[in-house]
Amino acid sequence: MLTYRVERKGRSLLVRIEPKGSKRVLYLDTLKAASHKTDAEAIAFLTKLHLKTSRSPDTLTFDRIEVAPQYADEALRLMRGTGRMIGEVDAPEEKPLQAQPRLVLKESSGSFANLWIDYQVAVIEFHDFSPLVEGKPRLKKEEEAFEKDLIEAGFLKKIVGDSQYFCPKDKVKEAITLLLDVGWQIIDPLGKPVSKQIAVTEENGRIAIRSSLRALIDHKLQMEGVWEGEVLYLKKNRIAALSDLIEGANWDETLLKCAQGFKQGASLKAASVGPGFRGKLLPYQQKGVDWLAFLYEWGFSALLADEMGLGKTVQVLAFLSLLRTNLPVLIVAPTSLLFNWRLEIEKFLPGRVVELISYAELRLKDFSQTEYEVIILDESNAIKTASTQTARAAFKLKGKFKICISGTPMENRLDEIWSQFHFLMPGLIEKNAERIQHQVRPFILRRKKEEVQIDLPEKIEQIAWIEMNEDQKQLYETAKKGLRLDGMGRMEILEAILRLRQIATDPRLVGSPFQGAKIEQLIQDVEEALGEKRKILIFSQFTSMLQLIREQFPKALYLDGTITGDKRGELVKAFQEDPDCNLFLLSLKAGGVGLNLTAADYVFLVDPWWNEAVEKQAIDRAHRIGQKNTVIAKRYLTLSSVEEKMLKLKSEKMKAADQLLDFEGGNFTENDLISLLS
């Protein structure tokens, strides 16, 4: 049997192996003979270490084995395992000092703090003058490195009251998160450790957000919510703002599904249309239905603002096919579009009973006593001004789910978007332009033709520049020279611009006997297209101009604001289906919305309008889903006239627009208008 005599030499060990009860020196061969099977691991380990220091294994003795510090713990473990180790080495070796940084926050914002150093045996403030900790020298280089890290993270050396460091509020979250990530201890003002964990729950219809430090809750959320004690409360319709917290927070399971839906574009699952729907949805239209179904499921509302021609009506009808309810559905639309809605319902959702009324009826009758499952406002810019009778009547309507439909983008006017969302979700937004886009974006779906996968033919847009004839030019210059710009009010300026625009279009619009050059080119283009059996739409904002064109083409279909809804439907059907009805004259405002005229090959715009979007809408009467042929859109503009200046001014306005959603026209200043007359 063997014994192991051990003594400590600094951090190393000295080991003597001898036969039990004898001081005899052992050699390698006698060591093995005297050992027991319980010695095998200890002997193997010590022999291996000993051989590293001996030149001749044959003369190797085991009366003095040096065990280096890095092997001491393992050697002691193995020798103790034999039960025959002798020596005073059981007390652990004294470990060197180790320093860890600790940031102690003075208040819940996290802006004010002090730096402490945790030495395990004691915790000492960084600015303490004592050079020792528990009788040993402090590790000043390590401490200074910690302070440097603190400053690089965003804190500043600044004494405020009893705090030594300061961090601006807008940088606190980033600084605290960085320090936690690299292993710092951070203690809140109550003495509790700070962690990055955030809890998101629902309490009494509100979202409750809790964290051990206010600063870890995003600054934009603090702007959206209200603090009550140490809990931040948000309205439930602000849940889309929490998408950044999805990965790093402890969520209520139901709320998490809702938040994930917004983060993934409200398309966690596809909505299967009801059996009553008689149509085929394109992929982007299916996503639109998914989006509506998602918002409906979670109790929100929606603004469907896809660009004109992408089938907003079809998406809404497909969504209605999903509903399982005994409550009625109300659709409110301009009078001119009621006929189109009836046709679309009959085509895509036959047998579905909906209440279909005009905005005029909404104003005249009280519909606020009925509880609706869904309320749909088509061309919802009808309520863009909250103070109007139409808007006030819409605000009174009661519905579980509300949809606004608008192919016309909202211009850069806060009150217009506020009014529509006051109808959709009262209280969602305040009249604060800084946050409005962030607040409404989750509830708006707007796609453009370029953004979706649809099989539309090419659209070719052209400008036909027309030079005035001599009589027209003389009349134009005479009218221009007769202007007295000094002292003119806005209405007088607009009247002067209108007169010049009419002369540039055709002098007969102002009572002159002279025909303009523009109509000559237009007639030539129309006759050429008719000769090729093409179908043509002609738009003008001046009905008197349409009448002049009608004199040249008496068989042309004609539509302006005086045409009733049913008659509009008959005209559209004739143009779409009758091969002999090849020419359709339309006023820009009356015919620019709500019509599906995909039989057209050409769209001619006789005169320009202030808002580019209005012209684009007119073109999209033809260039929309269902169109099979290339559409050629031609604008007729008069050179060296107010029309040419309008085109340049509109282009400048669009480039400079600070947009909410997108820009489709701007507010022209008085100086802008005067520049058109110069």
Q: Judge contact between 539 and 605, C-beta under 8 A.
A: yes
| Biggest alpha carbon–alpha carbon distance for the chain | 141
Quick one: pLDDT at residue 266?
54
The closest alpha carbon to 399, from 379, 425, 433, belongs to 425
DSSP assignment letter at 150: H
Q: How far is CA 52 from CA 55, 73, 359, 601, in A?
A: 8, 18, 99, 96
Quick one: pLDDT at residue 535?
95
Q: How far is CA 546 from CA 345, 538, 543, 551, 617, in A?
A: 32, 8, 5, 9, 19
**Which stretch of 164-168, 584-588, 628-632 has the lowest confidence by average pLDDT?**
628-632
Q: Judge contact between 291 and 445, C-beta under 8 A.
A: yes
Q: Which residue has the tokens 């966690």?
A: 268
Confidence at 661, pLDDT banded by 50, 70, 90: very low
Domain 459-677 matching CATH 3.40.50.300: the answer reads yes
Q: Judge contact between 550 and 558, C-beta under 8 A.
A: yes
The closest alpha carbon to 193, from 255, 129, 100, 272, belongs to 100
Could you state, in order of their start, the residue ranges of all structural domains in the chain?
2-86, 100-187, 198-263, 283-451, 459-677
pLDDT tens, residue by residue, 176-192: 989 998 999 999 988 88
What gap in Å lies between CA 216 and CA 231, rounded to an integer? Answer: 12
DSSP assignment letter at 101: E
φ, ψ for residue 37, nearest 5 deg: -60, -25
Q: Judge contact between 302 and 443, C-beta under 8 A.
A: yes
The closest alpha carbon to 4, from 101, 70, 80, belongs to 80
| Residue 667 or 64, more confident | 64
459-677 matches 198-263 in CATH topology: no
Can you name the residues that pair with 540 across neighbouring β-strands? 587
Average pLDDT, the chain: 87
pLDDT tens, residue by residue, 401-449: 999 998 765 544 677 888 999 999 988 877 665 567 778 888 888 887 6
DSSP assignment string, 503-563: HHH-GGGGT-SPPPHHHHHHHHHHHHHHHTT--EEEEES-HHHHHHHHHH-TTSEEE-TTS
Q: Which residues of 182-220 are buried (b: 16+ CB within 10 A; e: fewer)?
A: eebbbbbeeeeebebebebeeeeebbbbbbbbbbbbbee
Quick one: pLDDT at residue 11?
77
| Residue 644 or 22, more confident | 644
**Does pLDDT of 662 surpass 50?**
no
What gap in Å lies between CA 600 and CA 571, rounded to an integer? Answer: 13
pTM to 2 decimal places:
0.64
The closest alpha carbon to 449, from 272, 571, 574, 631, belongs to 631
Q: How far is CA 155 from CA 148, 220, 664, in A?
A: 10, 21, 46
Class of domain 283-451: alpha beta
Q: Judge contact between 660 and 434, C-beta under 8 A.
A: no
**Does pLDDT of 219 surpass 70?**
no
Quick one: pLDDT at residue 660?
43
Q: Which of 282-286, 336-340, 359-363, 488-492 has the highest mean pLDDT?
A: 359-363
**Does pLDDT of 88 surpass 70?**
no
pLDDT tens, residue by residue, 229-262: 878 898 888 888 787 777 778 888 888 888 888 8
Q: Judge contact between 561 and 590, C-beta under 8 A.
A: yes
First-residue to last-residue Cα distance in the chain: 118
Confidence at 170, pLDDT banded by 50, 70, 90: confident
Measured CA angle at 660 (ends 654, 665), to 5 deg: 30
Domain 198-263 fold is: MutS, DNA mismatch repair protein, domain I (3.40.1170)
Q: Judge contact between 295 and 266, C-beta under 8 A.
A: yes
Provide the residue type at 313 as one letter.
Answer: T
The arithmetic mean of pLDDT across residues 623-651, rounded, is 87
Confidence at 580, pLDDT banded by 50, 70, 90: very high
